[in-house]
Amino acid sequence: MSLALNDLLVCCRQLEHDRATERRKEVERFKRLIQDPETVQHLDRHSDSKQQKYLNWDAVFRFLQNYINKETECLKTAKPNVSASTQTSRQKKMQEISSLVRYFIKCANKRAPRLKCQDLLNYVMDTVKDSSNGVTYGADCSNILLKDILSVRKYWCEISQQQWLELFSVYFRLYLKPPQDINRVLVARIIHAVTGGCCSQTDGLPSKFLDFFSKAVQYARQEKSSPGLSHILSALVIFLKTLAVNFRKRVCEVGDEILPTLLCIWTQHRLNDSLKEVIIELIQLQIYIHHPQGAKTPEKGAYESTKWKSFLYNLYDLLVNEISHIGSRGKYSSGSRNIAVKENLIDLMADLCHQLFNADTRSVEISQSFTTQRESTDYSMPCKKRKIEVGWEVIKDHLQKSQNDFDLVPWLQITTQLISKYPSSLPNCDLSPLLLILYQLLPQQRRGERTPYVLRCLMEVALCQGKKSNLESPQKSDLAKLWIKIWSIAFRGISSEHTQTENFGLLGAIIQGSLIEFDREFWKLFTGSACKPSSPSVCCLTLALNICVVPDTMKMGTEQNMCEVNRSFSVKESIMRWLLFYQLEDDLEVSKEPPPILQSNFPHLVLEKILVSLTMKNSRAAMKFFQSVPDCEQHCQDKEEPSFSEVEELFLQTTFDKMDFLTTVKECTVEKSHSSVGFSVHQNLKESLDHYLLELSEQLLNNYSSEITSPETLVRCSSLLVGVLGCYCFVGIIMEEEAYKSELFQKAKSLMQCAGESISLFKNKTNEESRIGSLRNVIHLCTSCLCRHTKHNPHKMVSSFFLRLLTSKLMNDIADICRSLASCMKKPFDYREVHSVKEDADENLMEAQGPSSTSLFSDYPASTLNDANDSGENQSTVGAMNPLTADYLSKQDHLLLDMLRFLCLCVTASQNNTVSFRAADIRRKLLMLLDSSTLDLTKSLHLHMPCMFSASS
């Protein structure tokens, strides 16, 4: 044994000395020794080697526990009736003992979690369950549990199911029957973390544990304050999501029981926003479970009771008042304030309106307990009844009665969401009155604050009307007159950048629903200077080409000609020029500013499909053909967080009712050979398009500078060229072999070579922030051009062309950058990196607030025991953070992973496509990154790398 370890062993044995004075002397020495670098190195090595015969951190912890037991016994056997100063001294002694444990754990686990999880957990549980240990020990042990055990991924995975359940029971009882001076906020946070652990690491909590939550909500109603309630309700949300699949009826019963109580709490107490957010989330979850996918009746899959229906009406009344209060606060507050209401409240309100609005009911009586009045405390008093208005009349009244944006916008949001989510909820009889109201609101600009909301609402109404097939002719005629007026206003509003996106969305919805017959003036939007090419304008143009016939000619003004003076272009050619050369100088070779389509991202292949469709004699048929082909999975994947919809569908399948919307029919696209497509190309337009594309690429190449030219622009132009070639081939205009020999393809190769030079420059500048962002964008653009689709479609053809552009030099440069980035990672993954930030925040909060009084069961003083301060410590994280979370990755890490994914996709695609690089060399370099001698699985980045390889293969 080394001398350093020998000194520590002697010190540890002295901590077990029978004399208190000897033990006291050794404490400071003990603190110093466990920080000594040589001692720490030996303890780490022995702990990692699992050799029990040497002194390691676990052995030292056992000595420390013996010391704590001796000191605790001394304090317990001391005389109880002593002076105040003696009591203070004993309290201070307990604090010192307790803080010593936390200090030791920090030292032991600073570099990696080396103490055994079971030892730590047993110490915490034994201490917390022993009431004689007092509040001080319980406070520090609870902090150890929350910050040093549940926040460590290794420990999180080692806790057994029995221990999770025991933790839940112990701490929930502590929350329901708290000792004096306990910090219930800390206890609630632990319950939140433990519930997450039970539901993610085990088979879940037993349903009987729902009783704990019911009691917690009942207790909160009886108390003037509800410390930690937001954490308890967040834990309940986690629990219910896990439980709902197998215990739907029980979960619904719990909702029926506790939600009315939560409404009373909402009314009785002045809740902060964080607690309201959690209550809204819980109610929304219960609505999903009671009414999966909006089901209204038990026959359709709803789980409904009289009590639940009564709750919905009371909730509706509460939220109407809440929205009114939000509007009032906005009107009378000083300074700028957002006029919109949060989306979660709007979503909930839309679901409520869908459930409660029906043609037969205009008003209902609701029972309202006197306990909703804050001064009332007698819960046995009878209920009073009053009438509330429900139905579309309420929405129309709110849209008409106020001219204040703070009152109006929330109801515009509700109307928009209600129609968007439940189009059938808007009765035919209310369609015309609602449209008239919205039309009257549209010209009322009022600084334009409300206008985007009116336009979005009109767009949803247009889409809704387009789905209605049972409108009578007189009503259709009246609606068409209104839509013509609305179309005119939206058409003029295109020039306003503030509402351009919404105006294009509205025009597109009107076109999609074929609500009016528009004239040739519409096409001027895409031939002049009224607006520049953007995603909204291009999407609107796509809808128009898919539904309408493009007129052959339309005389354009000389101010819109860009190459030749006094020349008349066809509408199709003018649209091409607008897309490719919007507002460039007359001399394209002199202009150094790239057009808008090369400066921003557009949906994949949308531009290319438009351009190729315009070269066809029947552009409408060509666009329909393109739109009939399903998008590649990677280009239409939904990146939103997982929803509850799968569970809702499961509930609906148990109703045994015929539900056509559950039968997912996957249309099998019939592969069509080139010869059978039968499209006729307008040769002059095709030649013009080819000429414009070559002109555009020449402009970039002539102005190219490796230090100045943006590589994103080069890649966008290159992908545009091969995208047009791919669409040509897909409709049978040219053959693949002809495309590879074309001048467009050669220009695309030149552009990618220039982009490759910019990538090569990065090899020696991997720390420049601006270059990292630029290179990530380039890699994303390149990745979007690749497709793993096996069926014949435009994406697959474009992917084949793009793979041919990738040279060996470019691919090897990217692989070399990957190797460089992987080998120069600064810090290994360690939970302490993130964890220490949280603890620093705690310490700063302690310093700002000052020392606590006798309430030592928390890091916070007694005066702050409310939910207003709950959000001070990473509330979004439940328990240990996943080492694969993006929080652990730097910008260089993200770039490396993006590059690896791109390389993997290229190598995989090379098995079925001809490529210009040696795939075997790239594959070998990729495999070298997974070599066990270089891969360090303690690094978050290196944990991602095998996942990236497997996901891309």
Q: Is 773 helix (H, G, I), strand (E, B) or coil?
A: helix
Whole-number pLDDT of residue 178: 84
Whole-number pLDDT of residue 447: 55
Can you spell out the DSSP letters for 528-568? Answer: SSSS---HHHHHHHHHHHHHSPPPSB-PPPGGG-SSSTTPP
Residue 756 has pLDDT above 50, yes or no: yes
Whole-number pLDDT of residue 565: 35
Tens digit of each residue's pLDDT (9 = 90 or more) over 519-529: 888 999 998 88
Whole-number pLDDT of residue 85: 76
Strands (E) located in 293-406: 363-369, 383-389
In the predicted model, what is the mean pLDDT of residues 47-54?
79
Tens digit of each residue's pLDDT (9 = 90 or more) over 254-301: 999 999 999 999 988 888 889 999 999 999 999 999 999 999 988 888
SS3 content of the chain, % helix, strand, coil (to 5): 65, 0, 30
| CA 734 to chain CA mean position, Å | 43
Residue 339 has pLDDT above 90, yes or no: no
In the predicted model, what is the mean pLDDT of residues 57-62?
92
Can you spell out the DSSP letters for 232-296? Answer: HHHHHHHHHHHHTTT-HHHHHHHHHHHHHHHHHHHHHS---HHHHHHHHHHHHHHHHHHSGGG--
Tens digit of each residue's pLDDT (9 = 90 or more) over 213-235: 999 999 988 887 778 999 999 99
Beta bridge partners of 363: 389
Whole-number pLDDT of residue 378: 47
Whole-number pLDDT of residue 618: 93
Element (H, E) at 477: helix 473-493
pLDDT-derived band at 146, boundaries 50, 70, 90 = very high
pTM: 0.86
Tens digit of each residue's pLDDT (9 = 90 or more) over 633-686: 665 544 445 578 888 888 888 765 544 444 443 444 444 444 445 789 999 999
Tens digit of each residue's pLDDT (9 = 90 or more) over 356-397: 998 777 778 777 653 344 444 444 455 677 888 889 999 999
**Amino acid identity, position 205:** L
Could you give phi then psi for residue 660, rounded to 5 degrees? -65, -30
Higher pLDDT, 586 or 171: 171
How many C-beta neighbours within 10 Å does residue 720 have?
Answer: 25
> Within the chain, how many helices (H) and strands (E) appear?
40, 2
Could you give phi then psi for residue 681, rounded to 5 degrees? -95, 145
Domain boundaries, the chain: 179-304+830-882, 305-391, 519-554+566-630+690-761, 884-952
The conformational region for residue 557 under phi > 0 = left, psi -120 to 50 = alpha, else beta, is beta
Q: Token pair for residue 383? A: 């209920």
Strands 383-389, 363-369: parallel, antiparallel or unpaired by DSSP?
A: antiparallel
Whole-number pLDDT of residue 837: 38
Higher pLDDT, 58 or 770: 58
Which range has the top average pLDDT, 492-496, 705-709, 810-814? 810-814
Whole-number pLDDT of residue 707: 81
**Measured distance CA(102)–CA(790) in Å, rounded:** 58
Q: Pseudo-torsion of CA 864, 865, 868, 870, nearest 10°?
A: 110
In the predicted model, what is the mean pLDDT of residues 530-544?
93
Angle at alpha carbon of residue 353, lines to 351 and 355, rounded to 5°: 70
Higher pLDDT, 783 or 944: 783
Tens digit of each residue's pLDDT (9 = 90 or more) over 105-127: 999 999 889 999 999 999 999 88
Which residues are within 8 A (CB) of 132 and not within 5 positions of it... i.e. 6 or more apart?
A: 76
**Measured distance CA(140)–CA(135) in Å, rounded:** 9
Please say whether the beta carbons of 531 and 500 come within 8 A: yes
**Measured distance CA(509)–CA(463) in Å, rounded:** 6
Q: Is 364 helix (H, G, I), strand (E, B) or coil?
A: strand
**Measured distance CA(452)–CA(442) in Å, rounded:** 9
Tens digit of each residue's pLDDT (9 = 90 or more) over 403-422: 788 889 999 999 999 999 99
Residue found under tokens 């670098």: 37
Whole-number pLDDT of residue 137: 72
Using H for helix, E for strand and C for coil, what is the string for 130-154? CHHHHHHHHHHHHHHHHHHHCCCHH
- Point out the least confidently predicted range of 43-47, 181-185, 457-461, 700-704: 181-185
Residue 830 has pLDDT above 90, yes or no: no
Higher pLDDT, 766 or 450: 450
Which residues are within 8 A (CB) of 813 and not within 5 positions of it... i.e. 6 or more apart?
A: 756, 759, 760, 763
